[in-house]
Amino acid sequence: MYDVIISGAGPAGSMTAYICAKAGLDVLLLDKATFPREIPCGGGISVRSEKVLRLAGIELPANQIEQELRSLQFMGPDQKPFVFRSSKPLGYTVKRSQFDHYLVKQAINVGAQFVDSCTLQQLESHKDRVTVETERGVFESHLLIGADGVTSTVGRLSGLRKPLNPDRVGVALEVDVPISPSLWNSVLDPSIVYFWFLNIPFGYFWVFPRKDSLSLGVGGMAKQLENVPKLLRGLARTFTTRHGLPPFSIPKIRGRMLLALEYPVLETTNRILLVGDAAGLIDIFTGQGICYALESGFLASKTVIKAVKNNRITKKMLSEYTWNARRCFGEEIRISRTVNNLVHRHLHGFFQVARRLDCIGKVLFDIILGKTDYYRIRRNLLVFAMRLFTFELQNRLLTL
Ligand SMILES: Cc1cc2nc3c(=O)[nH]c(=O)nc-3n(C[C@H](O)[C@H](O)[C@H](O)COP(=O)(O)OP(=O)(O)OC[C@H]3O[C@@H](n4cnc5c(N)ncnc54)[C@H](O)[C@@H]3O)c2cc1C
């Protein structure tokens, strides 16, 4: 009988396991994959993520960092790029296989039991415990945390997640292309992340620099994207030509679903709660999911520890997580969806204005650095919307 079983050992699950085990709880962390495992991801982690790790007591060692990121290059449909530069680091790139494995090892070091190659298949919630059936046996615990990603089995079996509306599902594909490190600085600046919004419906093309490779990817709304691998190959070719890079062959393209739920699922049952992608915690505009995975794991574990130590495992007690998570990032995620809609519906206007309006860059940096308060975003949104309106009005008058 464990205090808590955590299904899924991505950043959300490992963070939860680490804090709970460190507080003396009996923790079982399980994952269907065999670790270290690959996962399609740009591997961009913001300074905000690093802050959460530090708050939990986990250092991000230098050998995990591939590149330090300081600038964001944007390009809109007019194909005129512009760069927002930050005087401070905005984040880093990591290799997800190594980063996720490192976090699992931190949880093991403080006493969590880890079982990989162990898919959770069924669960049953009783009055006094939860039983989970896996391919490696049956386990029981007081509490169960679903940290099992976008397709969350725990979310589905517990009834916390409703069936997906295909109109609201995003998809992202990524490919890791090896390049010679000698190209850094001579041809490409390794501190720049590229975001190209080239008529990709509700999505974009990105390039993240790593030590000896580039992570190239495309994300957008699944229903509106056609033949994404072909789109990704075409954009990769454009990128190489534009930057005078030697042509490279594209290895295997990997992809995953991204949830774009109306609202994140932060509600709980009396014994089960969801964290990270399982709870739909993704900023659909910047593509950031790792920091919300870490933050939700952090908040969930605080509630779980309190519930177990006070022997008060009730829905009311677990709702503390719901409230804290809503306060910390629920509103932000909601706003990111509004921003995403606004930007993609007025892509031309957005790029005309963003190029001239410093506050857009500042707000973006604040989101990435975790310094934002959403009132400020809202205030700037209003300024931005007014500029956008004036711009579109001018354009219409000119065409009359
Ligand atoms: C192509 C792509 C690029 C991305 N790039 C970035 C980026 O650059 N920066 C960023 O911040 N975010 C990025 N994201 C989002 C980010 O990857 C996720 O938000 C993040 O991985 C969420 O972490 P998690 O721990 O919630 O889930 P995951 O990392 O998905 O981990 C879930 C774990 O659960 C396991 N699992 C699943 N089902 C079961 C089961 N039934 N039983 C047991 N285990 C199970 C899986 O094996 C997996 O290890 C990207 C997403 C995609 C698709």
Domain boundary among 216, 239, 258: 258
Report the distance separating Cα 277 and Cα 282, nearest Å. Answer: 7
Nearby residues of 261 by Cβ (< 8 Å), 6 or more positions away = 168, 280
- Domain contains 22: yes
Contact by Cβ (8 Å): 82, 74: yes
- Kindly state the tokens that stand for 52: 């959460």
Same domain flag for 109 and 48: yes
* Count of domains for the chain: 3
> For tokens 């006070």, what's the residue?
310
- Domain contains 343: yes
- Domain contains 82: no
More confident residue, 54 or 385: 54
**What are the residues facing 91 on neighbouring strands?**
46, 69
pLDDT band at 271 (very low <50, low <70, confident <90, very high): very high
More confident residue, 200 or 367: 200
- Domain contains 315: yes
CATH number of 53's domain: 3.50.50.60
Q: Is the pLDDT confidence value at 361 over 80?
A: no
- pLDDT value, residue 263: 66
Nearest ligand 1 atom to the CA of 255 is: 1
Same domain flag for 149 and 282: yes
Same domain flag for 195 and 185: yes
Nearest ligand 1 atom to the CA of 172 is: 1
Report the distance separating Cα 277 and Cα 251, nearest Å. Answer: 26
Report the distance separating Cα 91 and Cα 365, nearest Å. Answer: 10
Provide mean pLDDT across the span 225-239: 88
- Domain contains 80: no
Report the distance separating Cα 373 and Cα 377, nearest Å. Answer: 7
- pLDDT value, residue 377: 67
Q: Is the pLDDT confidence value at 45 over 90?
A: yes
129 C-alpha to ligand 1 centroid (Å): 27
pLDDT band at 342 (very low <50, low <70, confident <90, very high): confident
Same domain flag for 174 and 294: no
Nearest CA to ligand 1 atom 10: 288
Contact by Cβ (8 Å): 281, 333: yes
- pLDDT value, residue 225: 82
Provide mean pLDDT across the span 326-349: 82
For the chain, percent of residues with pLDDT exceeding 70? 92
- pLDDT value, residue 365: 75
Same domain flag for 8 and 145: yes
Same domain flag for 207 and 297: no
Ligand 1 pocket residue status of 9, Cβ below 6 Å: yes
pLDDT digits (tens, 9 = 90+) for 52-111: 999 999 999 999 999 999 998 989 888 888 888 888 888 999 999 999 999 999 999 999
Domain boundary among 198, 225, 258: 258
Contact by Cβ (8 Å): 294, 53: yes
More confident residue, 223 or 137: 137
Instruction: Give the CA distances from residue 267 to residues 120, 156, 294, 325, in Å, rounded to whole numbers and listed in that order.
Output: 21, 13, 18, 10
Q: Is the pLDDT confidence value at 201 over 70?
A: yes
By residue range, what is the domain housing residue 246? 166-258
CATH number of 201's domain: 3.30.9.10
Provide mean pLDDT across the span 184-193: 90
Q: Is the pLDDT confidence value at 384 over 70?
A: no
Same domain flag for 244 and 173: yes
Contact by Cβ (8 Å): 173, 257: no
pTM score? 0.93
- Residue 147 backbone dihedrals phi, psi, to 5 degrees: -120, 35
Same domain flag for 6 and 45: yes
> For tokens 């354009």, what's the residue?
395
- Residue 332 backbone dihedrals phi, psi, to 5 degrees: -60, -45
- Domain contains 395: yes
Helix H or strand E encompassing 133 = strand 130-134
- Domain contains 51: yes
pLDDT band at 355 (very low <50, low <70, confident <90, very high): confident
pLDDT band at 170 (very low <50, low <70, confident <90, very high): confident
DSSP at 187: T
Ligand 1 pocket residue status of 97, Cβ below 6 Å: no
Same domain flag for 340 and 225: no
Same domain flag for 305 and 376: no
pLDDT digits (tens, 9 = 90+) for 204-215: 999 999 999 999
Same domain flag for 272 and 347: no
- pLDDT value, residue 88: 86
Nearest ligand 1 atom to the CA of 258 is: 53
pLDDT digits (tens, 9 = 90+) for 95-146: 999 999 999 999 999 999 999 999 999 999 999 999 999 999 999 999 999 9
Domain boundary among 286, 319, 334: 334
For the chain, percent of residues with pLDDT exceeding 90? 55
- Domain contains 78: no
Same domain flag for 254 and 371: no
Best residue among 119, 193, 277, 367 to mutate for probing ligand 1's pocket (most ligand atoms within 8 Å of CB) is: 277
- pLDDT value, residue 323: 95
